[in-house]
Structure formats: C-alpha cells, structure tokens
Structure 1
Amino acid sequence: MTTTASQTAGPYWHIIDHPEWADLRRGENAAMAGTTITLTGQITDGDGTPCGDAMVEIWQAGPDGAYEAGFHGFGRCASDDQGWFRFTTLKPGPVPGPGNSLQAPHITLAVFARGLMNHVTTRAYFAAEPLNEADPILALVPEARRPTMLARETAPGVWTLDIRLQGADETVFLDI
C-alpha cells in the first residue's frame, strides 16, 4: 500500500483578491461621516514565520454602531509577502450586545491561510477604549489573553493587530 502526501487546496486568493475592497470608504461609504482609520497587522504562523499567502476579511458596524443604515462594513485583502494586511475604514461605534449590554467598538476579522482547513475568526478591539471593560464578549476571554485582541495605535489613526495563528502568544480565536 502506498501513502500519499496530505495537502490543502490552494491558496487561490489571487482569484478573489480585489485590492479596492481593502478601502471601506469606497462607493456609498465615501460620503459617510466618521473618523478614518487604518487597521493593519502581520499574520505569522506558529514558528513566527510571516504568512505571505493569507487573506483577511473584515466585518464591522458603521460609525454610529449600526450594521445597516447605509454603511457597507465588509472588506477583504490579501497579505503581502511579509504577512502584512492593511485596511482603510471608518472607526466603528459601539453595538448592542446580548441582553441590554453594549459591545465595545470592534472589527471582526476572518483569516484564511495555508494549512487551515477552515478560516479562523477574531476581533480587533481598540486599546484604551473605556467600553472594553464591560464588553460581554471580551469578558469571556481570560485577562492574560485579551491583549491578543487589542489593536494598538501605532501612529495617529493607525491601529495594529498582529495575528499569530498558533504557538506562544497565539491570537484568541472565536468559535462562531
């Protein structure tokens, strides 16, 4: 009996990569009021090697905290050769949570990469946001692991969230 190597299909991100989708201020969002931000980060594997063949999708509420009401909150981009992704968007507002709670402003990220049979999902919360303390989803994450979900402002209006797919300092991923 002969065995064959195990492998995943793809990645074929170049087929579905539309660089303009990394700017959520496009189209109908261009005239929307709000604070323009950049969300960037580097995706690395368990060894710390950059994942230059990943794709990131984001979903977010608009500046008013609504998922509808005219803001197109979906974006997609491929990582570059060093695993970096970059989105330009409007900073989301707080959104209603379970019960009568309020979720802190956040951006949901899905990462598709080599070696993953299914994508992984996390959130980028904004460091120093007062509502983080009461966010019902973030409260479920052990305090020592929360920094893996906190984007830090590395320059005015530029927020960085590095994503580690496994190993030491692995990003917290959500089971959704």
Structure 2
Amino acid sequence: MSLIPTASQTVGPYLHLGLTPITIADIARDAAKGETIVISGRVLDGEGKPIPDALLEFWQANADGKYAHPEDTQDKPLDGKFIGFGRVPTDKDGRYKFTTIKPGAVPGPGNMLQAPHIVVCVFMRGMLRHLYTRIYFADEAANANDPVLGLIEDAGRRGTLLAGTVAGKGEYTWNIVMQGEGETVFFDC
C-alpha cells in the first residue's frame, strides 16, 4: 500500500490551532527606530459579518525605507531591533490589532518612491489561495504620487487601502472587506 499526499484545500478550520502559537503582534519590539503606531480593524465578509478565523501577515520596511530581507540591496541602514514581519489572527468579532512603526518610503515601479505602506497577506477558511493587499496611511502626503495607488482609478476603491487615524496620532484603523460593496482592493502577486 502506498500513501499519496492529499490535494491542497483550504486553510481552515485548523488555522488557529496551527498558527496562533506563532503570532507576532508587536513588530516594533519596543526599541525599533521610528514612530510607533498601532493598527487595528476588522475582517468582514460580503454581508458585513465578522470573519472570526482569518489570519493576517504583515511585511514592511523599517523607518528608513529598508526591508530586513537579503534582496533589499538599498544603501540604507537596517534596524536590528525591527523584524519587519508580523502575524495576527482575528478574534470572534473579526478584530485584529498589531503594533509596529510607520514605514519609510521604498522604491517601486520605475524606481519611483512609493508612499509608506504595509503589505498584507490574508488567509482564511474557504480560500484556496491567500490574498494580498496593502495598508497606506490616509494622513500621508506621498499617497498622491504613489505609483501603485495611482493604478487604482476609482477614488472609492483606492480609499479601501487607506488607514484612518483614531483618537490622535499613532493609532490607525483599517478594515478588510472580502467582497461586495466596499470590497478591499486585492493585488494579483
């Protein structure tokens, strides 16, 4: 008798069992260089109901605009206290929260500088492939010239990528809507 692997299916319902123990909700690690910020929000389905078992991964550059990755060859300093990666599950109300630093600008298409942003990967039940999106900051002037944001012609759709400030500086809120009205822009990577 020979055993063969089963086909790839979905990430649930065991997502929380396998990945919650490796949650990284504090990307800033207290001593990272830059402005410490908190980002929170909800992951919602097409009817506006919370998705209680999603998992979000975050990648970002440090405050100087350099990724902690060997392929980032920019002549910018690394911050040894900043890992640039986080992972958080949603709770029963679809909520998530993480602490990081506001990233610096990084080169993008045509070597144009991109506005500060955080790359987000969404995993959840029922999805055969994870989805990619980005968090931009609504109070960032560089958004007007960002080459990726500029690809999204509809201002309403572009707005789904903008995290708004909450109760003063340093706190942002940003929701992910999986489908339907107000659907978040997802990228084909």
**TM-score over 0.5 for the alignment?**
yes
Counterpart for residue 21 of structure 2: 18
Count of aligned pairs between the two proteins:
167
Q: Within 2, Cα distance between the matches of 1:20 and 1:112?
A: 14
Counterpart for residue 31 of structure 2: 31
AA partner of residue 133 (structure 2): T
Native 8 Å contact 1:18 1:76 kept in 2: no
Q: Within 1, Cα distance between the matches of 2:134 and 2:11?
A: 26
Unaligned runs of 5+ in 2: 1-8, 69-77
TM-score, L = length of structure 2: 0.83
Q: Within 5 Å, give how 1:48-127 maps onto structure 2.
A: 48-68=48-68, 69-70=78-79, 71-127=82-138
* Percent identity between the two aligned chains: 50
AA partner of residue 82 (structure 1): D
Unaligned runs of 5+ in 1: 1-6
Q: 1:81 to 1:9 in 2, by over 3 A?
A: same
* Residue 148 (structure 2) pairs with residue 137 (structure 1): yes
TM-score, L = length of structure 1: 0.89
**Residues 35-77 of structure 1: per-residue CA shift (max 9 Å, x gap):** 1101111000011110001100000000111003233111001
Counterpart for residue 170 of structure 1: 183
1:97 shift after superposition: 1.3
Q: CA RMSD in A?
A: 1.5
Structure 1 stretches (4+) deviating beyond 3 angstroms?
Answer: none
1:25 shift after superposition: 2.2
